[in-house]
Amino acid sequence: MADQILFFIEVVVGGLLAGTMYSLVALGFVLIYKASATFNFSQGAMVFFAVLAFVGFMQDFNVPFVLAFFLAVFLMIIVGLCTERLVLRPLMNQSEDTLLMATIGLGYVLEGLAQAMWGVEVRRLDLGIKDFPIPWIADNLKLFISAIDLTAGIVAFGMIIGLTLLFKYTKMGLGLRAVADDAGAASSIGIPLKHIMLLVWSAAGVVALVAGMMWGARAGVQFALVDLALKALPVLIIGGFSSIPGAIIGGLLIGAVEKVLEVYIGPFFGGAIEGWAPYVLAIFFLLYRPEGLFGEKIIRRV
Amino acid sequence: MKPIFMTYTRGDLINLAILLIVGVVVIPMTVSSGYWYTSILIPWLCLALATIGQQIIMGYTGQLALGAAGFMAAGAFACFNLILRVPGIPFVAALLISGLIAAAFGILFGLPSLRVRGIYLMVATLASQFFIIWMIDKFGWFKNYDSSGIITAQDIVIMGKPFTSPVEMYLVIVAVVTPMTLIAMNMARGSTGRNWMSVRDMDIAAESMGVSLLKTKLQAFAISSFYCGVAGALFAFTYLKSLEPVAFDIKLSFKVLFMVILGGLGTINGAFIGAAFILLFPVLLNYIGNNVFHGAIDATIISAIEQVVFGVLMIIFMIYEPLGMAKLWETIKIKIAGLFSKK
């Protein structure tokens, strides 16, 4: 019995830690949604693009780790700059659906560019952290928790705290929130819209890079990252599109629930139900609480 | 987005007659190479039919659904099982019933559309995409307990005559696609279509005018997935000639979405233009790669370039011509007509 409880805890903890990776991707979505009311469908592609560039710099050009990281950050800022200038600005004041479709196109561009530049083969990314259970925890608590999962969890947690503080307590954060609420009104009182957009897209790019590094270290840097990143969408629905804590809790919830379902119910159906379980969970949330756990209720008028 | 209302004039009927003559008589008599049928005409018409389905839900009813490939898979495997398990079922009947089965899935997964819209709905429809493919993959019954994962599709037999050569299969597709296209056009311009468009343009206003959102949205989902289901069955039986769930993954859904957007939202002929473009552009790119650069460019690079071009085009169309290539084509036609009338 005790073994079963331990196993259950292990499954849940593993799920929660894997869920932090979804949270990291979802965080990028939330950042952009908060500042520009744009559903950035290309966030998954940005994850892939960023980490592939990072690994590419390291492996093809023998750039040291830290430099490669900053080069990748720089690249993501350029991507943010180009997106703001070439996609968002011409589409200003268009409907949400139009913007969403444009970001689907943007995602295709990023995926294509990344593969054209760095090739399509799976690349290994070694962060120096092993995907093995941490011995200390395994010995003392009898729980097997992967070191990389734990690192990802800590990194995600740190980023969340940083971003929440940024949004809540800095002048820049206030500007971001003002722009998100009403871009026209915000720019009329002198908030530099362009700078805010650039900042937010760059921040989303950096978040994408970190998320990609965590994913990549675990499963290899490959195209499948884009599909994995799609799971951030149900996370957002559960957490609410405009809430940073929501992204985190949604991610944790999805991670834990899909693992528990997979381990305990999956075998009855031949497994692999984690492929769709998050989406079905999201549908139930949509029926019960369409604005998500922490989202703002949107009232539509004629 | 302003809808393009179509009215049938004598000119339209003449155009239709010319298209039919070209499609049914001229092409089968002049084009003899199997390549044209198996690699271009057959997939083009199948995907155009699926695109009409996506067009109905997205272009006309304004519901951002992203699960066309899931419904196509439902249709394809329904058709396979019907022919396998119901002895003596006519192919056309199997095709229609598989469309209805896909429509049932469409209604089921369309239910969230009553509560949500935009990207929320997109996520809900993604559930259908992943769930249907998983279901087919994991329950052996759907695949007749075939362990290889790839099942050969049965031959198409209509009235005791097998239709197996490329030309014959092409004719079967034309015989299905033509009436379905005409019906779609009629629905789109009739009261059904106006209800759809009123929901698209402002659902709350439509509701207060007496349009039932429940009925209109679910009807659009049902009809849309019916088209996708039939298209999927045709796609599997004539183009793929095999049934495997992987062929209907999310990439195909995105492809159909691109066909709708590049072709032009809210136009039926845009479905054909979009499908042709998405299908032919990679062919062209490969041709350039092989003949201009003599294979110096790697095939993976070419497909990456293709992706970039599609993405860029999508953004450009969103910015400059949200109504897509169909509208572009109309504009060009009017410009050309203007040139001639001045003389």
How many CA atoms are closer than 13 Å to the CA of A34, on its beta-carbon side?
32
Instruction: Report the sign of the C-alpha dihedral through residues A100, A101, A104, A110, in that order.
Output: negative
List all residues 6 or more positions away from A24 whose beta carbon is below 8 Å from its beta carbon: A152, A155, A156, A159, A207, A210, A211, A214, A251
Backbone angles phi, psi at B242, to 5 degrees: -150, 165
Q: Do A107 and B311 touch (CB under 8 A)?
A: yes
Q: Is residue A300 a part of any domain in this protein?
A: no
Pairing verdict, β B161-163 and B242-243 = unpaired
For B248, counting Cβ atoms within 10 Å of its Cβ (0-12 exposed, 13-18 middle, 19+ buried), the class is buried
d(CA B96, CA B229): 9
Q: Is residue A293 a part of any domain in this protein?
A: no
Q: What tokens appear for B214 in the block?
A: 């429940």
**Threshold 0.90, pTM exceeds:** no
Q: Let me know: does A210 contact A155? Beta carbons within 8 Å.
A: yes
Q: What tokens appear for B336 in the block?
A: 């050309």
Q: Is residue A296 a part of any domain in this protein?
A: no
Q: Is B162 on the interface with A (CB under 8 A)?
A: no
- The DSSP secondary-structure symbol of A7 reads H
Looking at the partner chain, which of A113, A237, A287 has a beta carbon nearest the beta carbon of B123? A237
Q: Let me know: does B311 contact A108? Beta carbons within 8 Å.
A: yes
Q: Let me know: does B196 contact B220? Beta carbons within 8 Å.
A: yes
Which is nearest to B126 in space by CA: B194, B65, B51?
B65
Q: So what's the pLDDT on residue B101?
A: 96
Looking at the partner chain, which of B115, B127, B305 has a beta carbon nearest the beta carbon of A116? B305
Range of the domain at A124: 2-288
Which residue of chain B comes nearest to A267, CA vs CA? B138
The residue type found at B204 is I
Which residue of chain A comes nearest to B201, CA vs CA? A302
Cβ neighbours of A71 (radius 10 Å): 17
A276 contact residues in B (CB cutoff 8 A)? 127, 130-131, 134
Q: So what's the pLDDT on residue A243?
A: 80
d(CA B311, CA A27): 24
Give the minimum alpha-carbon distance from B157 to chain A in angstroms, rounded to a whole number: 35
Looking at the partner chain, which of B120, B124, B138 has a beta carbon nearest the beta carbon of A269? B138
Which residue of chain B comes nearest to A232, CA vs CA? B123
Q: Let me know: does B169 contact B238? Beta carbons within 8 Å.
A: yes
Looking at the partner chain, which of A112, A119, A276 has a beta carbon nearest the beta carbon of B127? A276
B126 contact residues in A (CB cutoff 8 A)? 230, 233, 279
* A-B contacts at Cβ under 8 angstroms: 134
Q: Let me know: does B325 contact B262? Beta carbons within 8 Å.
A: yes
Q: So what's the pLDDT on residue A298?
A: 63
Which is nearest to B325 in space by CA: B20, B55, B12?
B55
Q: Is residue A133 a part of any domain in this protein?
A: yes
Q: How far is CA A65 from CA A46, A53, A125, in A?
A: 20, 12, 11
Q: Is residue A299 a part of any domain in this protein?
A: no
How many CA atoms are closer than 13 Å to the CA of A146, on its beta-carbon side?
18
What HEC string does B163-177 produce?
Answer: ECCHHHHHHHHHHHH
Q: So what's the pLDDT on residue A202?
A: 85
**Secondary structure (DSSP) of B50-89:** HHHHHIIIIIIS------HHHHHHHHHHHHHHHHHHSTT-
- Per-residue pLDDT tens, chain B, 343 aa: give them: 444 445 567 777 787 888 888 888 788 777 777 788 888 899 999 999 999 999 999 999 988 888 899 999 999 999 999 999 888 888 999 999 999 999 999 999 888 888 777 788 888 888 889 899 888 888 878 887 877 767 888 888 887 788 888 888 899 999 999 999 999 988 988 889 999 999 998 888 888 888 899 999 999 999 999 999 999 999 999 998 888 888 898 889 999 999 999 998 888 888 999 999 999 888 888 888 888 877 777 778 888 888 999 999 999 998 888 888 888 888 888 888 888 876 5
Q: So what's the pLDDT on residue A141?
A: 67
Q: How far is CA A162 from CA A23, A66, A78, A168, in A?
A: 14, 21, 23, 10
Which is nearest to A160 in space by CA: A15, A1, A24?
A24
Q: Do B308 and A113 touch (CB under 8 A)?
A: yes
At A127-175, the pLDDT tens digits run 766 666 767 766 666 667 777 778 878 888 888 788 888 878 888 888 8
Q: Is residue A297 a part of any domain in this protein?
A: no
Q: Which residue has the tokens 């979405």?
A: B257
- Residue ranges in chain A modelled with pLDDT below 50: none
d(CA B221, CA B113): 9
Q: Is residue A298 a part of any domain in this protein?
A: no
| Mean of all residue pLDDT scores within chain A | 83
Q: Do A107 and B313 touch (CB under 8 A)?
A: no
List all residues 6 or more positions away from B49 whose beta carbon is below 8 Å from its beta carbon: B176, B177, B180, B181, B227, B230, B231, B234
- Strand spans (E) along chain A: none
Q: Is residue A142 a part of any domain in this protein?
A: yes
Q: What is the CATH number of the domain that holds A220?
A: 1.10.3470
Q: So what's the pLDDT on residue A138?
A: 66
Q: Is B313 on the interface with A (CB under 8 A)?
A: yes
State the best of B1, B116, B126, B201 to mutate against chain A, taking most chain A CBs within 10 Å.
Answer: B126
B119 contact residues in A (CB cutoff 8 A)? 39, 41, 96, 100, 233, 241
What is the ipTM score, two decimals?
Answer: 0.84
Q: So what's the pLDDT on residue B2?
A: 41
Q: So what's the pLDDT on residue A143?
A: 67
Helices (H) and strands (E) in chain B, counts: 15, 4
Share of chain A above pLDDT 70, in %: 92
Q: Do A286 and B120 touch (CB under 8 A)?
A: yes
Which residue of chain B comes nearest to A41, CA vs CA? B119
Backbone angles phi, psi at A149, to 5 degrees: -60, -45
d(CA B140, CA B163): 28
3-state helix, strand, coil in chain A (%, to 5): 75, 0, 25
Domain count, chain A: 1
Q: What tokens appear for B280 in the block?
A: 């032919």
Q: Which long-range contacts (CB under 8 A, 24 or more apart) does B212-215 make?
A: B213/B114, B214/B114
Q: Let me know: does A50 contact A209? Beta carbons within 8 Å.
A: yes
